[in-house]
């Protein structure tokens, strides 16, 4: 399930800075066919460039997003009424408008698909929305069977409702399973702050300091003060737009050596021989493998966990 270093690496470097922190740090990897010029990643061939573009978060005022091609497609196949029907118990911060604004910052979401699928643009967009929301529903489910069907209880929680009850400031007196401060190289690259708690937040329940750090790199490339704000105050993800944006970042970004969930849903991912021997195919189950496969896939070879089953239910 291998993807190139190029696609997995630098979606966060989305903007050029003539006199900024990336000036004078251009490089090119000939083996991978990818490089960075003045902070902007690029691919040597069209397919590598497509992968880089797909995972790149764009900037721009949210009010302009409704003019973007992918947002128009989303609004055509999944309107606000559909959103309210699917998520009748959603937290007040998770609005349709917040989702639309966040989606517009990933222009390739709901806007591309491999021709081999034989699907229309609308069908591909529905496939993407179904894939993303299936994981969102599982991660944020209200778990109240007397109110609505299971699949209509998503977006109930904006954070881990167990870990979120403990105070923000040290000393942290929560249980060990709520402490997501890493060690080793990841802690050196994205140092956790003592007072900050990086437990699960957002529609896909992002956790760990290194994921908050990578997300901050993608949202605020070249703006260290803004990136530091997320690292110092991870509770900022307890919001509508930034929360949805964190979910889309997880969905659109490859995890080397694996492809992104977007690559799988849109048909661009092609299993290699090792994938096929491991029974990994370009279907919904492969997105679970990318998202949380170390815990949910191959409990016993050829079987699935209860969690993996409920994601696809």
Residue 233, beta-bridge partner list = none
Q: Which 3 state secondary structure label does DSSP give 41?
A: strand
pLDDT of residue 11: 46
pLDDT of residue 178: 86
258 vs 260: CA distance, rounded Å: 7
Q: Which 3 state secondary structure label does DSSP give 107?
A: coil
Of 38-52, 168-182, 275-289, which gets the smallest average pLDDT? 168-182
Tokens describing residue 311: 């994601």
Of 28-37, 96-105, 230-239, which gets the smallest average pLDDT? 28-37
Q: Residue ranges per domain, the chain?
A: 1-56, 57-157+242-312, 163-238
Residue 66 banded pLDDT, cuts 50, 70, 90: confident
261 vs 290: CA distance, rounded Å: 7
Which pTM was predicted?
Answer: 0.85
Q: Which residue has the higher pLDDT, 23 or 118?
A: 118
163-238 topology per CATH: Endochitinase; domain 2 (3.30.20)
Q: What is the mean pLDDT of the chain?
A: 82
Locate tokens 């990318």: which residue?
290
125 vs 265: CA distance, rounded Å: 9
| Residue 247 and residue 202 in contact, taking contact as beta carbons nearer than 8 Å | yes
pLDDT over 90, % of the chain: 45
Residue 311 banded pLDDT, cuts 50, 70, 90: low
| Residue 156 and residue 91 in contact, taking contact as beta carbons nearer than 8 Å | yes
H/E stretch holding 295: helix 284-296
Q: What is the pLDDT of residues 261-275, one digit of tens each?
A: 999 999 998 988 888
Q: What is the pLDDT of residues 8-39, one digit of tens each?
A: 444 444 444 444 455 677 888 887 788 888 77
202 vs 179: CA distance, rounded Å: 17
63 vs 48: CA distance, rounded Å: 31
CA 89-94-98 angle, to 5 degrees, is 145
Q: Which 3 state secondary structure label does DSSP give 310?
A: helix
User: Would you tell me which CATH number, out of the four given (3.90.79.10, 1.10.530.10, 1.10.760.10, 3.40.50.12160), belongs to the domain 57-157+242-312?
Assistant: 1.10.530.10
pLDDT of residue 309: 53
- Looking at mean pLDDT, say which of 61-65, 225-229, 237-241 comes out highest: 237-241
Q: Which 3 state secondary structure label does DSSP give 257?
A: coil
Residue 125 banded pLDDT, cuts 50, 70, 90: very high
């Amino acid at each position: 399930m291998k993807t190139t270093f190029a696609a997995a690496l630098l979606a966060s470097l989305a903007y050029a800075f003539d006199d900024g922190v990336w000036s004078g740090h251009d490089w090119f990897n000939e083996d991978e066919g990818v490089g960075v010029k003045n902070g902007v990643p690029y691919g040597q061939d069209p397919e590598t460039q497509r992968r880089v573009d797909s995972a790149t978060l764009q900037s721009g005022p949210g009010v302009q997003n409704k003019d973007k091609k992918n947002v128009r497609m989303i609004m055509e196949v999944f309107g606000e009424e559909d959103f309210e029907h699917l998520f009748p118990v959603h937290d007040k911060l998770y609005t349709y408008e917040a989702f639309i604004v966040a989606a517009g910052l990933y222009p390739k979401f709901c806007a591309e698909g491999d021709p081999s699928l034989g699907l229309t643009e609308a069908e591909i967009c529905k496939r993407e929305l179904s894939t993303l929301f299936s994981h969102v529903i599982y991660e944020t489910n209200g778990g109240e069977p007397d109110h609505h069907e299971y699949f209509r209880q998503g977006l109930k929680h904006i954070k881990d409702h167990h870990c979120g009850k403990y105070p923000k400031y040290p000393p942290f007196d929560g249980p060990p399973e709520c402490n997501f401060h890493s060690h080793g190289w990841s802690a050196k690259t994205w140092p956790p702050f003592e007072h900050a708690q990086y437990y699960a937040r957002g529609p896909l329940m992002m956790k760990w300091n290194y994921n908050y750090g990578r997300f901050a790199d993608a949202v605020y490339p070249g703006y260290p003060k803004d990136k530091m704000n997320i690292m110092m105050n991870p509770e900022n993800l307890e919001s509508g737009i930034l929360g949805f944006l964190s979910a889309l970042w997880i969905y659109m970004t490859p995890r080397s050596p694996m492809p992104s969930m977007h690559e799988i849903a849109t048909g661009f991912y092609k299993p290699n021989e090792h994938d096929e021997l491991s029974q990994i195919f370009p279907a919904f189950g492969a997105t679970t493998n990318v998202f949380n496969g170390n815990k949910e896939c191959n409990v016993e070879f050829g079987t699935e966990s209860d969690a993996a089953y409920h994601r696809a239910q």
